[in-house]
């Protein structure tokens, strides 16, 4: 267990904070509160914060190459134009009753890999879909339950993926110029009682950091699946992690209050572990 110096970056009461993402062009950390339908931004240099309300539950918000955001929403994937009052339009609308967008990630080629799940977390009710800037949607994985953390190795040849109830971090081989992910297999298994794997990020060494829902920690696994670091956190339900800051050395962690009868005071806040490691620059959505 690593006794890291975890700090509160943004004190908040998010019901289901998720999806931290560093936007290098804007110099801000993006994150969402899924159940409050809010997209947050935080500038660690100035402390400035903004909040944008979406029209429906939002599972992820990622920067676009020309500015603005791509959102993984309840009824599909939409685009927000640059600026505080940027216009919204659907890129790929695919409403399914009882289902919503969850975590999403931008691949090295600029495509968005967007996950879904059912509100009742029905077995096999979720999907993972690859979307390009023109709105083309290609199924990647079907029959998943809670589509969560997705990330790529530094060379782009491996993709890591979490379907939370499996308690596994899986690894897939990336083919066809990044369009396909095949040969899914376990990289690491989270043992009973240690929580459930949720959102993840990959560092410059190719190691996978994963937040453990109901585990109160973030773990780092090596590319061969060995556990080599555990960062304890002051909340039971961390949801996802990402490196941010000018040097990509600070690990930001989103957290949740939902389902906790008596949540700790900082549950729902955005946490940060300064100088935790070395992150990889994340691409923006090419759309």
Residues noted as catalytic: 198
Place of tokens 């596994």: 168
Contact assessment for residue 33 and residue 4, using Cβ atoms and an 8 Å cutoff: no
What b/e readout covers 84-96, taking b as 16+ CB neighbours within 10 angstroms? eeeeeeebbeeee
Q: Which of 128, 135, 167 is nearest to 151 (CA)?
A: 128
Q: Which of 66, 33, 67, 76 is nearest to 51 (CA)?
A: 33
Backbone phi and psi for residue 178, each to the nearest 5 degrees, phi listed first: 100, 0
> In terms of C-beta density within 10 A (0-12 exposed, 13-18 middle, 19 or more buried), how is residue 65 classed?
middle
Angle, CA 223 vertex, CA 182 and CA 59 arms, to 5°: 65
Contact assessment for residue 157 and residue 137, using Cβ atoms and an 8 Å cutoff: no
Contact assessment for residue 77 and residue 70, using Cβ atoms and an 8 Å cutoff: yes
Positive/negative CA dihedral, 120, 121, 122, 124 = positive
Q: Report DSSP state, residue 4.
A: -
């Amino acid at each position: 267990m690593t006794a890291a110096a975890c700090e509160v970056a943004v004190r908040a009461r998010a019901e289901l904070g998720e999806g931290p993402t560093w936007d290098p062009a804007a110099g801000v950390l993006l994150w969402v509160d899924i159940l409050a339908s809010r997209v947050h931004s935080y500038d660690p240099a100035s402390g400035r914060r903004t909040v944008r309300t979406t029209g429906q539950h939002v599972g992820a918000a990622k920067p676009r190459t020309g500015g603005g955001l791509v959102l993984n929403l309840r009824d599909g994937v939409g685009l927000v134009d640059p600026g505080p009052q940027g216009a919204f339009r659907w890129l790929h609308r695919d409403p399914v009753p009882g289902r919503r967008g969850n975590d999403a990630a931008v691949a090295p080629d600029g495509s968005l890999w967007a996950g879904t799940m059912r509100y009742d977390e029905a077995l096999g009710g979720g999907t993972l879909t690859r979307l390009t800037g023109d709105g083309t949607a290609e199924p990647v994985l079907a029959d998943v339950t809670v589509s969560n953390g997705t990330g790529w190795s530094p060379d782009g040849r491996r993709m890591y993926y979490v379907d939370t109830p499996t308690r596994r971090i899986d690894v897939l081989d990336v083919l066809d110029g990044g369009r396909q992910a095949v040969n899914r297999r376990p990289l690491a298994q989270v043992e009973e009682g240690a929580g459930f794997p949720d959102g993840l990020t990959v560092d410059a060494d190719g190691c996978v950091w994963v937040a453990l829902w109901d585990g109160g920690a973030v773990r780092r696994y090596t590319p061969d699946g060995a556990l080599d670091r555990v960062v304890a956190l002051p909340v039971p339900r961390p949801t996802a992690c990402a490196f941010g800051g000018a040097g990509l050395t600070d690990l930001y962690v989103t957290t949740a209050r939902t389902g906790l009868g008596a949540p700790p005071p900082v549950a729902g806040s955005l946490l940060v572990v300064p100088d935790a490691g070395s992150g990889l620059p994340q691409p923006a959505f090419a759309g």
